[in-house]
Structures are given as C-alpha cells and as structure tokens.
A and B are shown apart, each in its own frame.
Chain A
Amino acid sequence: MTPPEPEHRTRLPVFVDTDAPPDAPARLLHDFTPALIDVGAHHLCPGCGEPIAMRSMVEQVDELGEVSRAIAVFGIGCYTAYSNNLDIEVLQALHGRAPSLATGVKRCRPDTLVFTVQGDGDMVNEGLQEVLHTAARGENVTCFMLNNGVFGETGGHMTAATVLGQRTKNTLEGRDAARHGHPIRLAELVAALDGAAYVARGAVNNAVNITRTNRMIKDAFRTQREGLGFSFVEILTMCPTGWFVDTVDAPGYLDSALAATHRPGVLKDARKGLEFRTPAPKGSTT
C-alpha cells in the first residue's frame, strides 16, 4: 500500500522540485520559436506584447505561402530587434520613414508582399505624414503599427497615441488634454482615406484577441495580394515597463486604458464591402 501524498502535493502540482538538485541537466523539450524567427532569445522586457505581434505577422506570412516573396520594412523601436532575426528579407528604415521605403520596394517589385513594422512613436509621431500619404496614394502595401501608447525604447515617454490619464515619464501625473493634447486614433484617420482598402485594430493581450488579430493580419495581406490598395492593421501591445504596471496586470491595463480609446475592430474591408463610418459620438443613441 502506497503512502498517501503529502497534503501540499495534493493541492498544488509540482513542476520543479527545488528542494533537491535535478537528476538530469536542463534540456530543451520543445522549441516554440516560430519557423521564421531565427533566434528565439530577445532583449525585450518580460510581458512585452511585441514578440507576440511579431510572431503573428510571420505566421500569417507563412500560412499564406508568401515566405519567399515577402519583404519586411522595419521602423525604429524595441521591435527593431527582430529586423536582425527573421528568416524573411528585411529592409531597415529610419524612424518614421518605413511607408516610403515600402512604396519604393513595391513599385519596383510589384510581385512581392511588402509590409512595414512600426510603433506608435514611429508611425504617429515621427512619420504621420508618411503613412497618411501612402494610404491616400492607395499604395499596395501593408503597414503594421504596434501601438503600446508609449515610447518603449526610450524608457516610457508620451507618444501622440498615449491615452488620457496614462502615466509616462514625461506626463508623470497622467496625460492631461489641457497640457498635453489629445491622443490620435490612427486607424480611424487612415480608414477615412479613399486609398485605404483594409483597416483594422487588434490586440495581443489575450488568446481571443490574438486569434482575431491573426485574422486581421491575414485579411490585410489578402487585400495586398489582390491589389485592392493600402492595408493597415494597428495592434495594441502590452508595455508593462513603460506603463509602470506589474507584468501580470498589463493585459488588463491594455483593456481598461488603451483599448477604451483605441477600440479594436475591423474599420474597413474592401474585400467584404465594409465601408468606414465615423464612429458615433460618446453617449449617442443612434
């Protein structure tokens, strides 16, 4: 007859017994690194949403069978770490300028799948005119904006997408409209342009949102592949370091703060005949 398990073991499963040395050295049981990311290790902070968004992008490229036709144009931000780390061809741009480079690439190589990877600091602050002009031109490229409402790479400073009340290193008491102005909702601005064929905003703070975002990325690529015009997906990502919240609380903060201003959803989809309508004002019943 086997002795009963000690009480605490019945309550909690033990994955690693730290009371005794391991009987074998550590070994890799399963490598979860996606096929198109060369090295899984990165220097981004724990709880960062950008590796999740990056994984979503490369997986959709792979699933659509576009790996050997894809060219990614990177902006400058934390995510730039991945420009060196993908098994996809990469062109590194300056801060804010990726949509123009993507234009040059696509015009010269119309058969490729061209997408930019930029942050909110890169796209809304430094390069707002670039993305708007590229969208208005109906340039047949896809732009991705990883929006965490903060300059993550500089250590947590206000961007043009920082939501009201959000604390950053240069809005210590929270962003105040009277002093710091209002956030720009870029997806809505882009959607209002005639050249934009697909515009959506997703998030990577939970499994449901990641699945939806994957679908948006795929639809954006399909829009480009069918030559319908400019496609744009804004992806809300967690930045616990720049938000000054615990890692575990970041997905919830994304929901309650960022997503309340930058509301996820598909705003425009030419393939499905979805037209963009300016959102009704708050409190409106119509």
Chain B
Amino acid sequence: MTATAHAGARIMPGSAAIAEAMIAAGCRFFAGYPMTPFTEVLETMAARLPDVGGVCVNAESELEAVGMAWGAAATGTPAATGSTGQGLSLMQESLAEIVYSRLPLVVLNMARAQGDYFQATRGGGHGDYRHLVLAPCGVPEAAELTQLAFHLAEKWRAPVLVMGDYYLAHTHQSVSVTPLDFGPLPPRDWALDGSTGGTGAAKLVSPLSDAKQRHAAGRADAGYDLAEFYHRHVAAMERMVTDEPPRHEAGFTDDAELVVIAYGTPGGYVRQAVRELRAEGRRIGWLRPITLVPFPSDVVAEAARRAGSVAVYENNQGQMLDDVRLAVLGSADVRFIGGLSLDPSGFGIAPDLDVALLKRRIADLHDAVTGRRRGPEPEPPHREHPRSRP
C-alpha cells in the first residue's frame, strides 16, 4: 500500500504530489491564502479541483480560509486548508473550535524549517484539545500520508495535521498518486444538508453541544448541558490518541550504542548519515517518528534503553527533544545535536542539513558516549549555534 514506483509514476514536486494525493483521497473543498511554500499546493488545487467537481476558494486571509474549510467540513465534504507556520498561527482559534465541533478536516503545515513542532503537537489554540499530526519524509510518503490523513480525519471526526516542510514542498521526486483504500469509515450522519429542518430533530454542529435542548432529558429550560458534551468529547479525543497506533521508521537500533532521532526531511538526512557511519563500523542507530501525535514513545523508550544514549536532531532549537525526554524519562542520556538553519535565506539547503556535518556531529557524540577519543579535526567553515554542539 505504498504510493511509490507504480506504473504511471511522474516526476513532480512535493507540493503537487500532496495536492494530487488530496484529490485522490476525495478532497473536494480547499481554501487557502498564498504563502511560500504552501503557495504551490494552493496553485495546484486551484487548477485541479474544478476538474473533479470540487471547489477551491482563494481566501482573503488565513482566518477566512480555515473558516471556509470548517463550513465545508460541516456539510460532510472532505475538505482541507493549510499554510505555513505563520498562517497556521492565525488559524489556531478556529482549529481548536473545529476539534471541539468534532469535524474532520485536513490541515497542511508546509513549514519552512521545523520551528512549528510545538505549534503542531501542543496546539496554539485554546482549551483542552489534541489532534493527530503526521510528518512525512520524502515525496512518495507525503503522498501516502496525505491520503491517510483524510481517512484518519473521517475515522476520528477530528482535524489531522500534515507537517510538511520547505524541502518536501520543493523537492521533485518520481511518484505515482493512486487512490489508497485504508478501510471502511463510519457514516457521515452528523453532516448538515438542511434536510432535518422541521422534523423536530434538526441537526446541530457546534463546539458547545451536539444535541439541541429538547433532547436533553428532563430539561424544559434554555441552556446546553455543557459538561456532558465536554466529557464525551474529551473521552473521544483520549481514545483517538491512545487507540491510533503511532507510526515510526527505524534502523540499526538493536545493537546501537547511540540512537539518533529526527522527523520529516531531516529524518531522511539522519538516516543517510547513520548508514554511512555504520559502513565505517560505528554501532549507531536511527529512528524517525512518522506520527508526532501520537508520539511513538514506546519504541523511543525501548531504543533508548538498549542504547543508553540518544541524540535528537531537529531544524529548530529543540522542540521534539521534550517528547523524547518524556518518552525516555531519564533512562538514557539525551543530547540535542540540531539547530536552526544558518542559511541567510532561511530556506535553502543549510549547513545543518549537510550530511557531512551531520555525520561529524553524530560521530563526535558517539565517540563521547563510548569513551573513544579521536584526533583533532578542523572546525567547519561556518558558525554553529552554541546549542547545536554535542
């Protein structure tokens, strides 16, 4: 069930593959506001959605984009919106309310670096809520996880966030996007179409309640039973994050003395660096969380317990680091070896995403944790952030 290497594969950028995957997954409503590198997704959806009978609205702001997607989702139409981290900041209030309203929606964060991990996994919005977060690495996986996001959104009646990044959006890879079947879904009996009006049981989609007051037993007065709805909604959300299995990819963790953890595009760089270090005879493993919510805490904890030492690489100042530490709970040494890109554009392939540099950081840490010593090496030609040194 992978989207790779099928007949009919085309070379396309990640943003176009994500858009094609949304259409393959049945998405028929999209609203967005241009912002690099989300812009290309919007362009593709604007061009492609009308061909399949869908609607793409060029929203006047991110606030309106998420509102339109909310309205579309309430009609049971598979819908999506998105932006980069800054635009997602504007959408957080609505995103929280969409979770409370129990509506399926796919939200793309075509982030620039990885500074939005907290925003994605902790939510920038108000109140008690969580939603699933998927973090693909590479265009074929992005095409697959985007389709999975629509399935999970319907399955749990909740927004699912797909965490992309600049590299993913702009990397061209060969990919075949075909509709994937992830299994049966519950009926959309909550969706609004106007038809229940006048029946005495008109539907309500609201963050405050899903039952009108006439249904509340023994109540003739005005008012919602807020507490009953809140507890039911919280229980459903808890079920979602505990029952939905976390996904991850890992290599060489069985006999590793050090495990390097990274997600998204940098996860692919770490994988490559570790493979090369393995070829040099170093017992190092790698682990890439694919679901950030739920976080694959159990496999992280097990890998850390075996290895005794963990390194976290992120293209930020250390955010997933917190989840790794929570998973490990002090049973292993956890070091941060990432850092923000120092590329002046903030976009391009920065020294941080340089496999040679990455290898050196990992190898230095491996030496340190195994007590090995190496001869002095010349400093790299660029500045490093102090925290990025192991």
Asked if B213 and A97 sit within 8 Å, CB to CB, the answer is no
Is A184 on the interface with B (CB-CB < 8 A)?
no
Q: Which of A69, A86, A109 is close to B75, meaning CB atoms less than 8 Å apart?
A: A109
* B194 touching A69, Cβ below 8 Å: yes
Cα of A269 to Cα of B196 in the assembled complex, Å:
31
Contact A41 B202 (CB under 8 A): no
**A84–B213 CB distance below 8 A:** yes
**Interface residue count for A (Cβ, 8 Å)?**
46
Chain B residues with CB below 8 A from A67, complex form? 197-198
Instruction: Please give, as numbers and ranges, the residues of chain A lying within 8 Å of B214 by CB-CB distance.
Output: 38-39
Closest Cβ of chain A: how far from B132's Cβ, in Å?
A: 22
| A108, CB-defined interface residue at 8 Å | yes
CA distance A133 to B33 in the complex (A): 14
Name B269-301 residues within 8 Å CB distance of A.
none
A69 touches B197 (CB 8 A): yes
Does A108 lie within 8 Å of B55, measured CB to CB?
A: yes
CB contacts (< 8 Å) of B325 on chain A: these are: none
Q: Are A104 and B31 in contact (CB under 8 A)?
A: yes
**Pair B204/A104 contact, Cβ less than 8 Å:** no
- Stretch of B65-73, B302-310, B355-363 that contacts chain A: B65-73
Q: Give chain A nearest CB distance to B93 CB in angstroms.
A: 6
Q: Which of B94, B206, B220 contacts A91 (CB 8 A)?
A: B206
Q: Once the chains bind, are A104 and B197 in contact (CB under 8 Å)?
A: no
Listed stretches B11-19, B143-151, B221-229, B371-379; interface member? B221-229
B319 adjacent to chain A (CB < 8 Å) = no
Cβ contact within 8 Å between A92 and B207: yes
> From residue 95 to 125 of chain A, which have CB atoms closer than 8 A to chain B?
97, 99-109, 111-113
Residue B253 at the A interface, CB < 8 A?
no
Residues of B within 8 A of A91 (CB): 71, 74, 192, 205-206
B68 A38 Cβ-Cβ under 8 A: no
Give CA–CA (A107, B30) in the complex, Å: 11
Segment 60-117 of B: residues with Cβ below 8 Å from A: 60-61, 63-75, 77, 79, 93-94, 97, 101
Given A41-B220, A89-B197, A71 contacting B204 (CB threshold 8 A): no
A248 CB to closest chain B CB, in angstroms? 24
What's the interface size class on B, roughly?
35 or more
Give complex CA distance A151, B174 in Å: 56
**Hey, which chain A residues are within 8 Å of B57, CB to CB?**
103-104, 107
Q: Nearest-CB distance from A246 to chain B (Å)?
A: 24
**In the docked arrangement, what's the CA distance between A126 and B155, Å?**
33
Task: Give Cα A100 to B63, complex, Å.
Answer: 9
Cβ of B208 within 8 Å of any chain A Cβ, yes or no, is yes
Chain B residues near A103 (CB-CB < 8 A): 57, 64, 67-68, 71
Quick check: is B243 within 8 A (CB to CB) of the other chain? no
A236 at the interface (CB under 8 A from B): no
Please judge, given known A-B contacts A38-B212, A88-B197, whether A105 and B206 are in contact too, CB under 8 Å. no
The answer to whether B213 touches A85 (Cβ under 8 A) is: yes
25 A-B pairs with CB atoms under 8 Å apart are A39-B213, A39-B220, A68-B196, A69-B195, A70-B197, A83-B208, A87-B200, A87-B202, A90-B206, A92-B101, A92-B207, A93-B70, A94-B67, A97-B63, A97-B67, A100-B59, A100-B63, A100-B66, A100-B70, A101-B71, A102-B71, A104-B67, A104-B69, A113-B194, A130-B64
